[in-house]
């Protein structure tokens, strides 16, 4: 597994399991299967409504806490300093953890600066090992960074071969921040898994279009959190660390970028 060192020295896997829309026993099963297959990063959020299941599965998995990286996110009900403080405790209790490896503000709420102050406080107290944001534009990230003392370590955003976020990646690197991709398969939009370029390059390496798409982002320096409820797909998604894309293939995949979101609400 490739790792990235965040701007505060914390180490994070470059690939993890996303848990959006995974609930109950299915969520627990997927996490346990992922653990068996070598996953060590698990991404959840208060908005997903599954923090309890994520925490329960990880406890049952028996992996030492120090070998697991858990990310969660605060959302609208935590949009103030006081509510964010409570939201942090809510997530810790739901996950049944003493600390969270990475806590993000889920969206660029108007109250993000207030919320982030609560994150900084919990970070200084050791309750959070790293803090950051999600779905922030370069301008919004800059505004937040100018108002805080702990530069956000991660910005988790939509990123995939059709929306590669190159300018945002460049902006984040200027702050020493890391870009992480949610929905690296674009939720299957634009016939993603049958894309000619992904399929053709995959044939060269003996890999699937999904594996090529993930490897491309990782070689760009963007970590990924693909979600699946199928064990064979969970296994497929992590089986990408035994090859490297050649520069010619990287250039070909760069041409797929359309420079705009595929999600209307975003």
Dihedral pair phi/psi, residue 56, rounded to 5°: -65, -45
Measured CA to CA, the distance from residue 48 to residue 45 in angstroms comes to 5
Give the residue-averaged pLDDT of 165-179.
Answer: 96
Local structure of residue 107 (DSSP, 8 states): S
User: In this structure, how many other beta carbons lie within 10 angstroms of the beta carbon of residue 143?
Assistant: 14
Across the chain, mean pLDDT equals 97
Q: State the catalytic residues.
A: 48
Question: What does the pLDDT average to over 98-112?
Answer: 97
Q: What torsion do the CA atoms of 218, 222, 223, 227 make, to the nearest 10 degrees?
A: -90
Alpha carbons within 13 A on the beta-carbon side of 242: 7
**Bridge-partner residues for 178, per DSSP?**
154
pTM, entire model: 0.95
Helix, strand, or coil here: 87? helix
Query: pLDDT at residue 266 above 60?
Result: no
Q: What residue spans define the domains of the chain?
A: 3-190+216-244
pLDDT at residue 264, rounded to an integer: 74
Q: According to CATH, what is the number of the domain 3-190+216-244? A: 3.20.20.100
């Amino acid at each position: 597994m490739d790792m990235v060192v965040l701007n505060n020295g914390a180490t994070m896997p470059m690939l993890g399991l996303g848990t959006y829309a995974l609930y109950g026993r299915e969520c627990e099963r997927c996490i346990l299967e992922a653990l068996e297959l070598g996953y060590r990063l698990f991404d959840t959020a208060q908005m997903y409504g599954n923090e309890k299941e994520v925490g329960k599965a990880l406890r049952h998995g028996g992996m030492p806490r120090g070998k697991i990286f858990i990310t969660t996110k605060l959302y609208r009900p935590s949009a103030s300093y006081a509510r964010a403080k409570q939201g942090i405790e809510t997530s810790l209790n739901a996950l049944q953890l003493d600390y969270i490896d990475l806590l993000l503000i889920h969206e660029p709420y108007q109250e993000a600066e207030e919320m982030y102050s609560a994150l900084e406080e919990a970070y200084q107290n050791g309750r959070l090992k790293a803090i950051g944001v999600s779905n922030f534009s370069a301008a919004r990230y800059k505004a937040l960074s100018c108002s805080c003392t702990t530069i956000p370590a991660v910005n988790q955003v939509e990123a995939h071969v059709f929306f590669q976020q190159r300018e945002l990646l460049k902006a984040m690197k200027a702050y020493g921040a890391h870009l992480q991709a949610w929905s690296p398969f674009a939720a299957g939009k634009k016939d993603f898994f049958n894309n000619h370029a992904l399929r053709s390059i995959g044939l060269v390496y003996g890999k699937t279009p999904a594996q090529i798409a993930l490897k491309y982002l990782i070689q760009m320096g963007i970590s990924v959190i693909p979600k699946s409820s199928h064990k064979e797909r969970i296994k497929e998604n992590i089986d990408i660390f035994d090859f490297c894309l050649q520069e010619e293939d990287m250039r070909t995949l760069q041409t797929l970028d359309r420079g705009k979101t595929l999600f209307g609400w975003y």
